[in-house]
Chains A and B, each alone.
Chain A
């Protein structure tokens, strides 16, 4: 087993982790980015659409191009950044402050880091229904990976389950790939994603059926169709059902923050519905109750790449500061102003309410001595 040591370990090389690494490295910290995937970029590499947000967060630029921008920024401090792809951080042992990681499927290692920034993103939720084990039932992430990373269409005709931003955007991307979208079903009486994303597919003729969900998948050996059902105010089936032909059922029913490492590190965690799951309490520095651990991005609550990048910068800045490096702490106010702007709207109000539940002005009991 090899042993590696670094000043700052960044778990996850998505927009949050890359921004954190770049920021910390720019102040001279030695940073190691560990990423399970075969390339850096996280969710960004699959996003072929133009992003929202402001110019500071590259609005109007396609997601995968934003990943390129972050990677070239990291190159500027190349001497301070080590990257390991195809490597997963599998555990943290607080008694000797050591992380374990697995590279590929064979090789294991120990990583000793003075500080860690957990930017592990999120994992997809799925909903149960009869026959959901048939080939042809996918999560939206898999559909995007197949299509936008490997250039493989998942099928010919898709039923999309969920009208949040992911369901709406992936529907649009499917159409761009020449795949027909039979319908989008959404249990709520209102689309959850941005209205303009819905308008974009509506005007290309895709029905969005509100107060509808999937009842079951239909097919012998593979998906041949789906039965969808209407729901009432209390989300109970009204009895109205419709059988649809499709060879793909794509689920886009939400994400949950990936936080196992934080739990292992003893960070104080809380279940916050507005942030979509179990997340760590954090302060203005994005530091957790374990003073060696910071967190940023979707791992702190499901939000957007724009916010993930700013949170990553905050974590990187403050982790570098905690090592005694000469950082520009005035940046912290600037980053918070950016976050506050991003979260000021109708959509941000939910995030703000969630953060209020886990935000700490100061820690009552610090673990460090």
Chain B
């Protein structure tokens, strides 16, 4: 087993895979409100992302075990899937935030809850601190204690930032 495979086997994405494909760069760069980034590379019986997507951007599953397929032209970056996904595997990254910063919409179920204006640490897929970010908005789309935190952080980390740490 090579190194990448054993890293993947421990829950860290190492490459694009069906269910974990990056949005097309050109569309992504111009898309106000951003595009969904899904990291769900295993066939498991789960479909709330598709059934909750208001625009059909996450294509309907023919089998509940399908991995998500995305029609990026339909994605509005609304982040409903971010709030709904039981695996916390959906993110939205808005590359139009400003020149150097992107807006990351990240699911969050920890304490403490950050507030607008707070500085948080942005983490990569193994929890490594990548940058600090500023909390722009905190929403709870489904009123079910899964929050979606909108954080501005360097755009060049668009393919890396996947979590935040608040405080300490």
Contact = CB atoms under 8 A, between A and B. Distances in A.
Contact of B44 (A55, A206, A345): A345
Contacts of B48: 55, 59-60
A200 B90 CA distance: 11
A107 interface: no
Contact of B1 (A60, A189, A199): A189
B10 A194 contact: no
Interface stretch (A2-10, A45-53, A238-246, A290-298): A45-53
A210 B6 contact: yes
Contacts of A199: 11-13, 39, 87, 89, 125
Most chain A CB within 10 A, of B11, B109, B162, is at B11
A345 B43 contact: yes
Nearest to A343: B45
A342 interface: yes
A306 B39 CA distance: 23
Given A194-B87, A344-B65, A203 B9 contact: no
9 contacts: A196-B44, A196-B88, A200-B87, A203-B125, A203-B163, A205-B126, A208-B10, A210-B9, A345-B44
Nearest to B145: A62
A53 B46 contact: yes
Nearest to B87: A196
Contacts of B43: 345-347
Interface string B145-166: 0100000000000000011010
Nearest to B46: A52
A213 to B, nearest CB: 15
Contacts of B16: none
Contacts of A175: 110
Interface in B18-41: 39-41
A74 B100 CA distance: 56
A362 B8 CA distance: 44
Interface in B90-127: 109-111, 123-127
B86 interface: yes
Interface in A275-304: none
B86 to A, nearest CB: 4
Contacts of A345: 43-45, 63-65
Contact of A195 (B42, B65, B123): B42
Dominant secondary structure at the B interface:
loop
Interface in A313-359: 341-348
Interface of A: 49-55, 59-60, 62, 163, 175-176, 178, 189-191, 194-206, 208-210, 306, 341-348
Interface of B: 1, 6, 9-13, 39-48, 51-52, 63-65, 84-89, 109-111, 123-128, 144, 146, 162-163, 165
Given A50-B86, A60-B86, A204 B163 contact: yes
Contacts of B165: 204
B127 A202 contact: yes
B12 A202 contact: yes
A202 B110 contact: no
B123 A208 contact: no
A366 B1 CA distance: 51
B107 to A, nearest CB: 9
A204 B127 contact: yes
Given A203-B123, A203-B124, A196 B89 contact: yes
A52 B127 contact: no
Nearest to A193: B11
A53 B45 contact: yes
Given A205-B127, A347-B44, A348-B45, A341 B63 contact: yes
A205 B122 CA distance: 12
B125 A202 contact: yes
